[in-house]
Amino acid sequence: MNGFKRILLMEDNPKDVELTLAALDEHNLANEVVVVRDGAEGLDYLYMRGQFQMRASGNPAVILLDLKMPKVDGLEVLRQVKSDSGLKTIPVVMLTSSREEKDLVLSYSLGVNAYVVKPVDFQEFLNAVKELGIFWAIINEPPKDSA
């Protein structure tokens, strides 16, 4: 089950990446996070092509998806993932810039089922994955300050 604990983070802003990793690192998840910088790289990772041809096999346990990325943006990635039989089972958490942006994303009925407002607060992240029912797939030990 080792490969299944991987989190795939698609985020283009390096500062946001750092903040997210810091939040997850506090809770011993940073080792399992794969970071890609745009939707194209993200899809390469998922399909095991390009620079990720030789990666360890297996889908990540969850995809953290930023809405706005260069080349291929978050919604396009979501569309592709949800229409691919091999990938559509991967839970997707959309990263939004604000609570109202959430409304915008909601209006695209592409199977978006969880949101986290940036920066990724760990508690918020926990709530999101709980919503998706993949809590136990991600967390290998209870966080120190869980509610």
Partner 1 sequence: MGTSLAVLVLTCVAFLTTDYIVNGKNLSQTLITRAGIIAANSTAPLATHNGEDAAIILSSLRLDPHIVAACMYDSDGRIIAKYPLSAPNEVFPGSPERQGHRFEKSHFIVFEPILQGNRWLGTVFLKSDLTELNDRFQLYSIILIMIVVASLAVSYGLSVRFQKDISGPIRDLAETARSIAIQNDYTLRARIRGTEEVGLLADSFNNMLDQIQHRDSSLQKINEALQKAEERFKSTLDHMLEGCQIIGFDWRYIYINEAAQKQNRRSKEELLGNRYMDMWPGIEATTVFGILKRCMEERIPDHMENEFTFPDGAAGWYDLSIQPVPEGVFILSEDITKRKHLEDERVELQKRLQFQTLFESVPGLFLVLKPDLSIVGASDAYLNATKTKREEIAGRGLFEVFPDNPNDPTADGVSNLRSSLERVLKNRVADTMALQKYDIRRPESEGGGFEERYWSPVNSPVLGAEGEIEYIIHRVEDVTEFVRQKQSKAAKENDPSGLQAKMEKMEAEIFSRSQELQEMNGKLHAANDELVKRNIENQESEQRIQNLNADLTLRASQLEVVNKELEAFSYSVSHDLRAPLRHIDGFADLLRKHTAGKLDEKGQRFLTTISDSAKQMGVLIDELLVFSRMGRTEMRAAKIDLGRLVKESIDALSEDTLGRDVRWNIGALPHVEADEAMLRLVFQNLLGNAVKYTRNCKKTEIEIGCTAKANEHEFFVRDNGAGFDMQYADKLFGVFQRLHRSDEFEGTGIGLANVRRIIQRHGGRTWAEGKINEGAVFYFSLPEHQHDDD
Site for partner 1, rule CB under 8 A = 13, 15-16, 18-19, 22, 26, 68, 97-98, 100-101, 118-119
CB neighbours of 52 closer than 8 A, spacing ≥ 6?
44, 45
Nearer Cβ to partner 1, position 28 or 89? 28
Nearer Cβ to partner 1, position 6 or 118? 118
**Please, what is the minimum distance in Å from the beta carbon of residue 80 to partner 1?**
24
**Please, what is the minimum distance in Å from the beta carbon of residue 69 to partner 1?**
13
**Please, what is the minimum distance in Å from the beta carbon of residue 119 to partner 1?**
4
Residue (of 114, 112, 116) closest to 97 by Cα position: 116
**Please, what is the minimum distance in Å from the beta carbon of residue 23 to partner 1?**
8
Nearer Cβ to partner 1, position 19 or 110? 19
Residue (of 95, 114, 71, 81) closest to 9 by Cα position: 95
The one-letter code for the residue type at 29 is L
Nearer Cβ to partner 1, position 47 or 143? 143
Contact in structure between 35 and 21 (CB atoms under 8 Å): yes
CB neighbours of 53 closer than 8 A, spacing ≥ 6?
none
User: Can you read off the two tokens belonging to residue 21?
Assistant: 């990793």
